[in-house]
Amino acid sequence: MKSRPYVAIHEVIAKSILRKQKKIESWFLSSYGMNLYRGCAHNCVYCDGRSEKYQVDGEFGCDVTVKINAVDVLRRELERIKKRSPQPSGYIMVGGGVGDSYQPVEQTYQLTRKTLKLLSDHEFPIHILTKSILVQRDIDLITTINKKRKALVSFSFSTVDDTISERLEPGVPPPSKRLETIATLTDAGIPCGIFLLPIIPFISDSPQRIEESIQQAKKHGVEFIVFGGMTLKEGKQKDYFYALLEQYYPELLTEYNIIYRGDTWGNATKEYYDSIRRTFDLLRKKYHMPCRIPPHLYDDLVTENDRVIVILEHIDYLLKLQRRKSPYGYAAYSISRLSTPLSSMTGDLQQIKGVGRVTERLIREILTTGRCSYYETLLFGR
Ligand code: SF4
């Protein structure tokens, strides 16, 4: 299966660029996101942007929409935000969603570069998520933003094996090149992470392959790896992926039918996800690799409530990895509904729904020291 040689570009006038999130996003540490392109010529065979759910115009991988007025719209939005108090907590997320900000069309339009310049002028911290080595072109701007506030660059991988990637990700540079770019960025003092996501069942999910990914990440200076399994929604996404299986891995069709049973969200069975998460968790502990963005990469960017929310959500994830019960996700959600800073609340924090005695103790430690020793033990696998 090869990427189509021709990509049709559709220019549109956008009404808005920034997308405000309801609460801080603890995977990305962002409170705003933005996409300058819709659709993606990288055309990864597993991309869920292909699913009908996202209503991307045209044929995914062949049609790309460009928001040609993005810079003017973003300038107005940033100026408005700059006048507000308090300022946004966390990063502004550049990319992700249903289009890579550094896909080939960026070479022509340079919208990502121009918007980074704006974000730099207005001194907003940024978190870029991409699969492209074109990000290296903007190392000057990213370095400047990193010095003024903070910049974080994350790369997504489904494997670090170049041969497998050539089949699954026909439009992106091989993982070996992405790893070289990570080394270049980290050498320039820009922190980098990996979203090892999605891991492809029976193709890139063996303990050996996962360990190889962690080793390579470590070797190239990556500071964290966020891990996740693949979803396959019924319809275009699943049909496209199955065509690849029939071509290259026909012997795997039966196993795929066992784990993908038509779930509404495209999820594989819980047993399958649990098994790969456990494998990853054991291996990442062996290498002391955090599986969420560690606090030193966002410490000075978030409000105290958001710091508590993020840490509690991370603890919730880490405990569930170990198949343990956790009250922390619910407590984090309740705190996200508060309009007052936790430190200004008088009396008992147990009046907040989901906050019990132990959770209150953790929150107080975070409020007093900015840290949580229980969390750090879980996160760094010490
Ligand atoms: S780079 Fe990301 S958005 Fe683009 S096709 Fe691949 S998975 Fe989808």
Q: 151 forms bridges with which residues in the sheet?
A: 126
Instruction: State whether the beta carbon of 99 lies less than 6 angstroms from ligand 1.
Output: yes
Asked whether 100 lines ligand 1 (CB < 6 A), one says yes
Q: Which atom of ligand 1 is nearest to the CA of 49?
A: 8
Instruction: Say if residue 5's pLDDT is above 60.
Output: no
Average pLDDT value over all residues in the chain: 94
pLDDT, position 281:
94
Residue 335: predicted pLDDT: 97
Q: Measured from the CA of 61, which atom of ligand 1 is nearest?
A: 5
Angle, nearest 10°, between helix axes 357-369 and 373-380?
Answer: 90
CA–centroid distance, residue 100 to ligand 1 (Å) = 6
Task: Supply the residue whose CA is at minimum distance from atom 6 of ligand 1.
Answer: 44
Say yes or no to pLDDT of 2 above 70. no
CA of 46 to the centre of ligand 1 (A): 8
Global model pTM greater than 0.75: yes
Strand order in the sheet with 18-25: 18-25, 30-34, 91-95, 126-130, 151-157, 192-199, 225-229
Q: Whose CA is nearest to atom 7 of ligand 1?
A: 47
Check if 44 has its Cβ closer than 6 Å to any atom of ligand 1: yes
The yes-or-no verdict on residue 54 having pLDDT over 80 is no
User: Ligand 1 within 6 A of 40 CB?
Assistant: yes
CA–centroid distance, 45 to ligand 1, in Å, is 9
The dihedrals phi and psi of 277, each to the nearest 5 degrees, come to: -65, -40
Does position 4 have pLDDT exceeding 70, yes or no? no
How far is the centre of ligand 1, averaged over its atoms, from the C-alpha of 51 (Å)? 12
Helix intervals (H) in 15-138? 70-83, 105-109, 111-121
Query: What is the CA 326 to chain-centroid distance, rounded?
Result: 23
**98 alpha carbon to ligand 1 midpoint, in Å?**
7
Reported confidence tier of residue 3, pLDDT bands at 50, 70, 90: very low
